[in-house]
Amino acid sequence: YVLTQPPSVSVAPGKTARITCGGNNIGSKSVHWYQQKPGQAPVLVIYYDSDRPSGIPERFSGSNSGDTATLTISRVEAGDEADYYCQVWDSSSDVVFGGGTKLTVL
């Protein structure tokens, strides 16, 4: 199972960033999202498509339908600049990560 993410997304501060994750009928799977800042370990920011772990700002939200899952970051801040990875579990491939998207805050 293959997950496809855009290599990069750019957004101005205060605007909304949308990072997509494409996969065949991904809407039938649970999608999880991780944020990784330079030199740091990944951090879970969204699980089960749209749930937020404690401590993650409400500005982070997720959706999943059809062949595309989306991580949405509202009111983007400079501190949101990071790599973002989507991930699913597939019965044939087990755990699969997308290739990652570098979010640049202009």
Is 27 a binding residue for other proteins by CB under 8 A? The answer is no
For 13, residues 6+ apart whose C-beta sits below 8 A from its C-beta are 76, 77, 78, 105, 106
Q: Which residues in 79-98 contact other proteins (CB under 8 A)? A: 85, 87-89, 94-98
Q: How far is the CB of 15 from other proteins (least distance, A)?
A: 25
When the beta carbons of 54 and 58 are compared against other proteins, the nearer one is 54
When the beta carbons of 15 and 37 are compared against other proteins, the nearer one is 37
Q: Which of 18, 24, 37, 48 binds other proteins (CB under 8 A)?
A: 48
When the beta carbons of 11 and 100 are compared against other proteins, the nearer one is 100
**23: Cα separation from own chain's centroid:** 13
- For residue 40, report the phi and psi dihedrals to the nearest 5 degrees: -120, 165
Task: At 5, list the tokens.
Answer: 């993410």
CB count, 10 Å around CB of 14? 10
Is 53 a binding residue for other proteins by CB under 8 A? The answer is yes
DSSP per position, 58-88: TTEEEEEETTEEEEEE-S--GGG-EEEEEEE
Q: State the residues that interact with other proteins by CB under 8 A.
A: 30, 32, 34, 36, 40-44, 47-48, 53, 85, 87-89, 94-100
